[in-house]
Amino acid sequence: MNTYRELISNEEFFAAALMQVQVFVNDALDESPIGEGGPVQKYTDFSVWIGGACYPRHTHTFKVSG
């Protein structure tokens, strides 16, 4: 059984980027998966870049398998 941890803070995004873990992107409203995910390339307070795509933090959730 897979468990997932949601990334919320800048520190969590920094750790995920540093460790190059697979981050899964979901829609915040219905939790449907969006894209294939990948390692965090860049993040700000407003958006996260994963796999060459930019995702706004207020409309998406970001999870890692744990």
Q: Identify the pLDDT of residue 55.
A: 96
Q: What is the DSSP letter of 15?
A: H
Q: Identify the pLDDT of residue 5.
A: 94
Specify the CATH class of 4-65 in words: mainly beta
**Nearest Cα to 63, choosing from 7, 1, 2?**
7
Which helix (H) or strand (E) segment is 13 a member of?
A: helix 10-19
Q: Identify the pLDDT of residue 36.
A: 79
Q: What is the pLDDT of residues 21-56, one digit of tens each?
A: 999 999 999 989 997 789 999 999 999 999 999 999
How far is Cα 27 from Cα 12, in angstroms, rounded to an integer? Answer: 19
Beta bridge partners of 6: 63
The full set of domain ranges for the chain reads: 4-65
Q: Identify the pLDDT of residue 1.
A: 67
How far is Cα 40 from Cα 19, in angstroms, rounded to an integer? Answer: 9
Q: Identify the pLDDT of residue 66.
A: 76
